[in-house]
Amino acid sequence: MIPAEQQIEILKRGAVDLISEEDLKRKIETGKQLRVKLGADPTRPDLHLGHAVILKKMRQFQELGHKVIMLIGDFTAMIGDPSGKSKTRPPLTLEETRQNAHSYLEQCKLILKDDPEVLELRYNSEWLEPLNYADVIRLASRYTVARILERDDFTKRLNNGTPISLHELLYPLTQGYDSVALEADVELGGTDQLFNNLVGRTLQGQYEQEPQVVLTLPLLVGLDGTEKMSKSLDNYIGLIDAPEVMFAKLMKVPDTLMENYFTLLTDLPLDQIQQIISGHPVEAHRILARNICQWLHPDADIAYAEQRYDEVAKGGIPDDLQTTTVPETDFNDTGKVGILKLIVLGGLATSNKEARRFVEQKGIKLNGELFTDPQAFLDLSEPVVLQRGKDKFARLSR
């Protein structure tokens, strides 16, 4: 068995909060297999590299012989976690959460070891749905309103006069009760989950359990360099993106985030990371892209993904573009459709006005050639490929 000190050094890498290191050391030294919980409300079906940060930490616990519990919050997703939100998040139905959970779990297994010895899958509807009203009142009696309102996002909303619904105040208690039900030894989460996870630690003490260790990891900043990675902000790298797409996106990681991405998403030694990022920026990006693509696509030809990136960077057209079929209703009486509408349908602009500006500023290519006529109409007798900038493409056909 790996000594406790060595395990802790592995597990601390990239962590923001560890409450507490002494407790974790003591738990490891007992020699028992720790139960490591990660709760996730499946509000969306797809995962990105931001999720991979925590999943990678879970895999480290697995490699050290501990059991990770992937807790799907199918019940709590119906409440809506207000953490970090400036307003109430719309709740989902139980059916919606379970549909999302299926996709979520399949993607998690790209990183986690799918072995029942070190992986347990649970749904919190198992113990939350049977609770009656008296049970909820008794649970609520174990935590004070003052403590709940200490949470930063609640404080901001109170100060701003933004309404807080009573069900949102119950969310941290509900999540904390998950730790009691699972008898968790450790709970993982992003930094935005610190308060909720500490509630679980407190509740376990109330239920005469040994309080869990709380370990948080930073929220991965997206490709825009300013906001956390999110599909809604279109600054994400999908966990199931094709290797060619993933490689190209990783080449766009801002230089200021390179150390963060290397530390959280690779196993390279920290001194080697410093050496890499102090070298040529383009080569550093290539090393990052190769490492992450090989990790998530172990059977793929990463050299080919890099080759396609180079070809596109030199003006080539990717050969794996999906084709968008243009509806017949978009064609005029002569059987043609305007170039501006095609640019919008291809997702290269959000409006005809924006599309016109791209054309007039010589930012659009048609089949690899510069296109400068915003008044043009095409009959699409053959599929066409539109390009904006170096790496935004759309293939359209009738």
The binding site for ATP comprises 231
The closest alpha carbon to 266, from 14, 9, 5, 4, belongs to 14
**Residues paired with 17 in a beta bridge:** 216
Give the span between the Cα atoms of 314 and 101, in whole angstroms: 40
Query: Using omega within 30 degrees of 0 as the cis cutoff, is the peptide bond preceding 20 cis?
Result: yes
Q: Which amino acid is at 305?
A: A
The closest alpha carbon to 153, from 219, 91, 83, belongs to 83
Q: Binding-site residues, please?
A: 231
| The two three-digit tokens of residue 58, written as one number | 């879970």
The answer to whether 54 and 40 have CB atoms below 8 angstroms apart is: no
Give the span between the Cα atoms of 193 and 40, in whole angstroms: 11
The answer to whether 59 and 161 have CB atoms below 8 angstroms apart is: no
Question: How distant is the alpha carbon of residue 156 from its chain centre?
Answer: 25
Give the span between the Cα atoms of 193 and 195, in whole angstroms: 6
Helix (H, G, I), strand (E, B) or coil at 387: strand
Residue 221: DSSP 8-state: B
Give the span between the Cα atoms of 319 and 308, in whole angstroms: 9
The closest alpha carbon to 104, from 57, 46, 50, 56, belongs to 46
**Length of the chain measured in residues:** 398
Give the span between the Cα atoms of 83 and 41, in whole angstroms: 12
The closest alpha carbon to 340, from 363, 359, 314, 320, belongs to 359
Strands (E), the chain: 17-19, 35-40, 67-72, 119-123, 186-190, 213-217, 323-325, 337-338, 364-366, 369-370, 377-378, 384-388, 392-397
